[in-house]
Homo-oligomer: A and B are copies of this chain.
């Protein structure tokens, strides 16, 4: 349960790759931007598949792309300022255990829906974890910050 798609896994690995290489907009302009093909090779990911993923991250504002020859991708912000929640939501959509999660009203089913509060709590727990980690934390292998 709670399987994370390869799309998200690959996306995160690509972002970690860029972060490790210091590919951030503004910084280290000497470096050429990293191409999708290069990241795919280095991370053993299908190149064409990764292309689409990087496009999504660009649309979401997490990456900046340069087209044409010597083009490629860079992080739009330093890793410290990118929360994992942003990344995951960009690729998988909102954390939403059940569909009725946003409607403050009662569920489709008529009566009182007690489980909804339970699912809401789960969403908050997951959102809390994801938003408390930055790309930099993942890069540095920090599994937890001491407080569960």
Contact = CB atoms under 8 A, between A and B. Distances in A.
20 contacts: A2-B123, A3-B97, A9-B115, A44-B110, A84-B118, A114-B138, A114-B139, A114-B140, A114-B141, A117-B138, A117-B141, A117-B142, A118-B138, A120-B143, A122-B129, A122-B130, A124-B144, A125-B125, A125-B129, A128-B148
Nearest to A88: B1
A36 B66 CA distance: 59
Contacts of A26: none
How many copies of this kind of chain does the complex include? 2
B118 A2 contact: no
Nearest to A110: B44
Contact of A12 (B9, B89, B92, B115): B115
